[in-house]
Amino acid sequence: MTPAPEPTSPASAPDPANPAPAPVPALRIGNASGFYGDRFEAMREMLTGGPLDVLTGDYLAELTMLILGRDRLRDSDLGYAKTYLRQLEECLGLARERGVRLVSNAGGLAPAALANRVRALAERLGLDVRVAHVEGDDLLARGGWGEGVLTANAYLGGEGIAACLRAGADVVVTGRVTDAALVSGSAAAHFGWRPPSPEAARAGDPYYDRLAGAVIAGHVLECGTQATGGNYAFFTSLGENREAVRELLRRPGFPLAEIHEDGSSVITKHDGTGGRVDVGTVTAQLLYETQGARYAGPDVTARLDTVRLTAEGVDRVRIDGVRGEAPPPALKVGLNRLGGFRNEVVFVLTGLDIEAKADLIKAQLDEVLAKSPPAEVRWELARTDRADAATEETASALLRLVVRDPDQSVVGRPVSAAAVELALASYPGFTLTAPPSKGAPYGVFEAAWAAQDSVTHTAVLPDGLREPVPAPAVTLTLAELPEPPLPPAPAPAKTLRAPLGRIAGARSGDKGGSANIGLWVREDAAWPWLVHTLTVDRLRELLPECAELPVTRHVLPGLRALNFVVQGLLGEGVASQARFDPQAKGLGEWLRARHLDIPAALLPDEVRQQPSSEGTHS
């Protein structure tokens, strides 16, 4: 028998005189750029592909700020992402016609200049467009950053963006804000979220949880098609066969999020576009360029260890359960300085005696380099050659020489001339991949910190009024969380020697001179094995480049994931180009290619059926 319903108490009965406010509709927000140089047509594709309320564009990265800084040196009116204006030339009218607001960090080092150019463009196109911008991130004039610093920009939050949108802006351009702020600021404006007072925060104001949910959605969107199958470790499983995968990923659609008032969201994409959104693609992006379980930002610290991902139909993944905490008291400041000059020569070694050929050219050039030694000399032999190869390219290896020094005259002409002069006097088959250069400047990225209340975060509204954005009234010093309880270690089982990537996905990237490797498994059964097997010591064994470097492991059971942070792997950062893979994009794939003894029951059928040596039964 079905029990009778409980009587409604007077306190909970609807009050016709004071009806409850209607829920705010979900915010449908998309992204059309993950970096400066991303697919130019993406803005039009997103505006015409389906309904949107807001379209964001992320154009800034550590390297981009250096590029824009050098632009500004050549012309003080520059310093913004010029591509954005070209995209607006085609799409500004379309956005206005469809009622889509545009929010972008394309302002770079010159958000006011870009805002003025957008206004001029709108006037030339005969469009009524309300343009606003956010400034205050540029701290270069403050000084004290050290010698040679070209850019110094604080990572601002989304409150300035929210202020511009509340004032009715159709287009908002910013300087250096956090990538996720483009989304979280838009959500704060849409839902009316406001930072709480200390009293409200102590009373459990839901602001932090809601905003943290929007930040997580923003982090998933910020890198564009990386959330829809791009750079995805398990990309071969997205289709029934290789041809289907190739067609699916030929042109992945850009992602969008349906954000709800409680901070939950659904990650999806426009119907009919390429790519795929599933729990795996979203997990991969969640782990990208993060560190511990606390994902700190200027407005809120989001707890990655609380994120829940749920498949909700085709190309739809729900994110909920996200908890948030007050932000830290200091803002990260990105510093870019000119570090010196570099030169690179890549020798092609073909056919037999590869090692002997490499030894000869190194001995010949080392004698020249010793006359005026560069500050840094790196040789790397990449054995891309094969025995009895059918093409000359596959019969060849690459020997890479990189030299760096504060003085261009040390690494420029002397190195290039010495390499070229050996063309008829060195190993048989001598050739280079490209002519050597005169030596090019390289940049160095460093992170510094500034107190939140020392930065003049300002929203410049469409009518020109300047609205100061106050620093958060509540902050919380960031601290690492203790490692969560681990599942019991798996019982001894038959193992097979196989690549780690047969059961684990990875996504890696750069943070200044450090790199992160996020690693996850798709099945609950594989999680105990991964978390007990892939320790810091085991990672150092598998990736010898990390053996002498500080490595921190963070455990995220809710995502069945581990996140390793390797300090110093990238030297002085991506702009210094010290490694073959300066942004550590391939680091995770290298790890996935390493072989371990893996429980046979965890491996796919096709792997278990291949000839392989059995491992220990432990």
Q: How confident is the model over 91-120, as pLDDT tens digits? A: 999 999 999 999 999 999 999 999 999 999
Within 10 angstroms of residue 291's Cβ, the number of other Cβ atoms is 17
The pLDDT of residue 174 is: 98
- Distance (Å) of CA 396 to CA 350, 360, 393, 429, 434: 4, 16, 5, 10, 15
CA pair distance 102, 95, nearest whole angstrom: 8
* DSSP one-letter string for 504-539: EEEEEEEETTEEEEEEEESSGGGHHHHHHH--HHHH
CA pair distance 611, 615, nearest whole angstrom: 13
In the predicted model, what is the mean pLDDT of residues 567-581? 71
**CB contact at 8 A, 226 and 253:** no
CA pair distance 523, 520, nearest whole angstrom: 9
In the predicted model, what is the mean pLDDT of residues 30-49? 97
Q: In what order do the strands lie in the sheet with 301-303?
A: 294-296, 301-303, 323-325
- pLDDT, one tens digit per residue, over 373-423 is 999 999 999 999 999 999 999 999 999 999 999 999 999 999 999 999 999
Q: Domains of the chain, with CATH numbers?
A: 338-444 (3.30.70.2730), 495-608 (no CATH)
Residue 438 has pLDDT above 60, yes or no: yes
CA pair distance 33, 36, nearest whole angstrom: 7
CA pair distance 334, 337, nearest whole angstrom: 10
**CB contact at 8 A, 163 and 135:** no
Residue pointed to by tokens 């992402």:
81
pLDDT, averaged across the chain? 93
Residues 6+ apart with CB under 8 A from 463: 167
Look up residue 171 and give its two tokens: 């287009």
- pLDDT, one tens digit per residue, over 257-285 is 999 999 999 999 999 999 999 999 999 99
Within 10 angstroms of residue 115's Cβ, the number of other Cβ atoms is 24
- State which amino acid sits at residue 601: A
The pLDDT of residue 574 is: 55
Buried b or exposed e, range 174-202, using 16+ CB within 10 angstroms:
bbbbbbbbbbbbbbbbbbebebbeeeebe
| Virtual torsion, Cα 37, 38, 41, 46, nearest 10 deg | -140
27-31 and 54-57: which strand pairing? parallel
Residues 6+ apart with CB under 8 A from 60: 36, 81, 105, 106, 108, 176, 179
Q: What is the CA radius of gyration of the chain?
A: 27
The pLDDT of residue 22 is: 82
- pLDDT, one tens digit per residue, over 360-374 is 999 999 988 999 999
Per-residue pLDDT band at 510 (split at 50, 70, 90): confident
Residue 63 has pLDDT above 90, yes or no: no
